[in-house]
Amino acid sequence: MLTAILATMALSCGICRADNGMWLPSLISERIGDMQAKGFHLTAEDIYSVNQASLTDAVVLFGGGCTGEIVSRDGLLLTNHHCGYSWIQKHSSVEHDYLKDGFWAMDRGEELTNPGLYVRILDRMDDVTSTVLSGYVPSMTEEERDSIAKVNAQAVIQSAVSGGKGLKASIEPLYYGNQYFLFVYKEYTDIRLVGAPPSSIGKFGGDTDNWMWPRHTGDFSIFRIYAGKDNEPAAPSDENVPYHPRRFLKISTQGVREGDFTMVYGFPGTTQEYIHSEAVRYIGEVSDPLKIDLRTRRLQVQKKYMSASQDIRIRYSSKNASVANAWKKWQGESKGLARNKVVESKKDFESRFEAWAKGTPYEGVTARLADLYGKLEKYNRAIDLYRESAATVEIAKAASSFFASDNADLSAFYKDYCLDIDKESFVAVMEFFDQNMDRTMLGDWYLGQLKKRGGIAPWADYLFKKSAFRSEATYRKATKKDPALEFASEMAEWYRSSLLPEASKIMKEINLLYRQYVRGQMEFEPGKVFFPDANLTLRVAYGNVSGYSPSDAIQYDPVSTLKGIIEKDNPDIFDYNIPQVLRDIYAKGGHDDQPVCFLATNHTTGGNSGSPVLNADGELIGLNFDRVWEGTMSDISFDPSFCRNITLDIRYLLFLVKEVGGAQWLIDEMLPAE
């Protein structure tokens, strides 16, 4: 039935305009009219085609959380520096620090293998709703529906992956299980590192500029996909040869101007566009502030030690970046939700919806959701508190991993560990946990320890003094009675047995209601264009190059240049200390207008990092790598006046490969003579 609703909607909405959305490539014919009206020159078949080569063949899921794109007939792959970061780090040592100095293979023989790294290329996608629901009749309960769907889905996946090398398949629910889509990928596992700029370029601006405009980060790294001699996926081997894609992206060096059409093709991770006002209120007013508070405490401790010691700065740079990344995003999200009064407008929508829903099967669904969210809140709050406090204690995590995988080697952990930071963070986050947890929900073990140790600070003194995990020299002597292990397991056990079961039970009910509610929203607003929430499946977003006004009296231009890097350059500020080679190149003159990054209105989210940004002719003009802070509420509610994605201009990438990397052979490969 829903397929029917979706189909009629699609028909009636062929001309509907939407400012936002993440569209399924196989259904892009429903949007192509709007895309063309906004300046796109290609057809739906050029984007995705069952029979012929299309842009889809050039886009990859990179390493399970980012996007990348193929830019040569020999499988050359571009993604972000922050996506390649951990792989670059693995090849780095004191003698050759590729993170610091950058890495440039000067021929194919110098490219470096990365066991464990994989990319997936979409082979096909299909609406399998009717197959997945075969055997289901409306008199069944939602649970019965789900178990039928599970069994059918397994069978579809089985047959999809048989008879091909490296085939991977998954069935993903869309609109909370109103529809099911099959995605079949080819997974390539011989992926070699080809090039990366120094971090002072690839991470330029660091966490100071992260999520911000004006931005000047050269956020890219270069890899190459290798395949067996038959061009099919093969395990890493010297025998492998560069992969020849069905289609690779042509690079355009024409540049962008305000208003130009842009399209982002990639793998956005998670959005929640159709949720209830209570869910939005929880995120913006409870969860985000709570998590921000806890992370502020950890960041303060890290900052204190990192600014006092260069050694600690290096050891904590990656941890610090990941703690700071979401911390900053949540601030933008929570502010944006409040600024745009998203809770109020959802509430208003809900009352109009309920007025319409009287006498339909949808009557009362929003009240039932509100009721369930009311029951869920105390569990969700406790879960957030636990995950951002006890679950972040490093010594406890080391202890559990040591025992989880049979006396694991923890030398990598100790290389980047600082006990003083960990201990101070323990006190900072556990005090917050203790002050903010509902006492009646706390476990006996926790309350007992708190009393026995005489408070959080003495508990930390005891734990960090007594645990064998306090140092690399002692951890191998740890016993199952170790206080760090005990802390980790008892807290995790409390979380698993007292919080999760109830929370998952309520969440399951909520998701079943959403299945109804989203269907209801579609019937209620037949003129509106719906897109399925992001779920790390391939999507098209489109928009145009555009600046914005973040606040009164400020207007941002959409393009940044090398001049801005030189303006920010400061050898005394870690985040802004560019390599001397870039200063020298600039000093030679003529590079003031070298474009670096640009803004556009594409609807993107985490996972879209590294996504190709294409022009009206489907040519590569840049790599998506971030959004602006004021617009991060777009995961819940998109506002065209604030929501911007940030793209690395492809011309800056080419400039760096040539001038800083001196890798002309890669330029020749990316820009072949016609």
Number of residues that bind ligand GLU (CB under 6 A): 9
Partner whose binding site includes residue 605, from ligand GLU, ligand ARG, none (CB under 5 to 8 Å by kind): ligand GLU
Q: How far is the CB of 66 from ligand GLU (least distance, A)?
A: 6
Partner whose binding site includes residue 206, from ligand ARG, ligand GLU, none (CB under 5 to 8 Å by kind): ligand ARG
CA pair distance 175, 499, nearest whole angstrom: 27
DSSP H stretches of helix in 546-631: 562-568, 580-587
Phi, psi of 599 (to 5 degrees): -105, 145
Q: How far from 329 is each of 38, 100, 602, 606, 631, CA to CA, in Å? A: 30, 26, 17, 11, 9
| Residue facing ligand GLU at closest CB distance | 609
Binding mask 590-629 for ligand ARG (x = CB under 6 A): ----------------x--x----------------x---
CA pair distance 74, 245, nearest whole angstrom: 7
Partner whose binding site includes residue 321, from ligand ARG, ligand GLU, none (CB under 5 to 8 Å by kind): ligand ARG
**What sign results for the dihedral spanned by CA atoms 502, 505, 508, 512?**
negative
Tokens of 611: 């996504």
DSSP 8-state assignment for residue 532: P
Residue 82 annotated to the active site? yes
C-beta of 67 vs 178, nearer to ligand GLU = 67
C-beta of 133 vs 648, nearer to ligand ARG = 648
Q: How far is the CB of 117 from ligand GLU (least distance, A)?
A: 16
Q: How far is the CB of 208 from ligand ARG (least distance, A)?
A: 9
CA pair distance 219, 231, nearest whole angstrom: 30
Partner whose binding site includes residue 266, from ligand GLU, ligand ARG, none (CB under 5 to 8 Å by kind): none
Partner whose binding site includes residue 579, from ligand ARG, ligand GLU, none (CB under 5 to 8 Å by kind): none
C-beta of 152 vs 637, nearer to ligand GLU = 637
CA pair distance 21, 543, nearest whole angstrom: 10
CA pair distance 461, 440, nearest whole angstrom: 26
Binding part of the chain for ligand GLU, among 285-293, 396-404, 549-557, 625-633 by CB under 6 A, reads 625-633
**Given the residues 57, 72, 81, 82, the one annotated as active site:** 82
Q: 92, 170, 325, 436: which one contacts ligand ARG (CB under 6 A)?
A: 325
Per CB under 6 A, 384 contacts ligand ARG: no
C-beta of 327 vs 531, nearer to ligand ARG = 327
CA pair distance 266, 610, nearest whole angstrom: 8
**Given the residues 389, 609, 611, 637, the one annotated as active site:** 609
Using DSSP's 3-state secondary structure scheme, residue 447 falls into: helix
Per CB under 6 A, 608 contacts ligand GLU: yes
Burial class (CB in 10 A: 0-12, 13-18, 19+), 50: exposed
Binding part of the chain for ligand GLU, among 189-197, 228-236, 422-430, 600-608 by CB under 6 A, reads 600-608
Partner whose binding site includes residue 210, from ligand GLU, ligand ARG, none (CB under 5 to 8 Å by kind): ligand ARG
Per CB under 6 A, 606 contacts ligand GLU: yes
Count of CB atoms within 10 A of residue 527's CB? 8
CA pair distance 602, 643, nearest whole angstrom: 8
Which residues are bridge partners to 185 per DSSP?
122, 168
Using DSSP's 3-state secondary structure scheme, residue 183 falls into: strand
C-beta of 488 vs 633, nearer to ligand GLU = 633
Per CB under 6 A, 535 contacts ligand GLU: no
Per CB under 6 A, 20 contacts ligand GLU: no
Partner whose binding site includes residue 470, from ligand GLU, ligand ARG, none (CB under 5 to 8 Å by kind): none
Partner whose binding site includes residue 604, from ligand GLU, ligand ARG, none (CB under 5 to 8 Å by kind): ligand GLU
Q: How far is the CB of 596 from ligand GLU (least distance, A)?
A: 17
Binding mask 627-656 for ligand GLU (x = CB under 6 A): x-----------------------------
C-beta of 446 vs 625, nearer to ligand GLU = 625
CA pair distance 523, 519, nearest whole angstrom: 6
Cis peptide before 214 (omega within 30 of 0): yes
CA pair distance 628, 45, nearest whole angstrom: 32
Residue 198's region, left for phi above 0, alpha for psi from -120 to 50, else beta, is beta
Residue 259's region, left for phi above 0, alpha for psi from -120 to 50, else beta, is left
Which residues are bridge partners to 647 per DSSP?
598, 624
Residue 216 annotated to the active site? no
Per CB under 6 A, 206 contacts ligand ARG: yes
Phi, psi of 210 (to 5 degrees): -50, 140
Residue 219 annotated to the active site? yes
Among the listed residues 206, 89, 22, 195, the one whose alpha carbon sits nearest the alpha carbon of residue 626: 206
**Given the residues 209, 219, 260, 482, the one annotated as active site:** 219
Residues 6+ apart with CB under 8 A from 197: 81, 102, 218, 220, 221, 656, 660, 661
Tokens of 245: 């894609």
Planar angle of CA 139, 144, 149, nearest 5 degrees: 110
Q: How far is the CB of 274 from ligand GLU (least distance, A)?
A: 19
Please give the sequence-ordered ranges of beta strands (E in DSSP) within 12-89, or none if there are none: 59-62, 66-70, 76-79
Q: How far is the CB of 279 from ligand GLU (least distance, A)?
A: 19
Q: 20, 54, 210, 317: which one contacts ligand ARG (CB under 6 A)?
A: 210
Binding mask 552-591 for ligand GLU (x = CB under 6 A): ----------------------------------------
Number of residues that bind ligand ARG (CB under 6 A): 11
Active site residues: 82, 219, 609
Q: Where does this chain bind ligand GLU (CB under 6 A)?
A: 604-609, 625-627
Q: Where does this chain bind ligand ARG (CB under 6 A)?
A: 82, 206-207, 210-211, 321, 324-325, 606, 609, 626
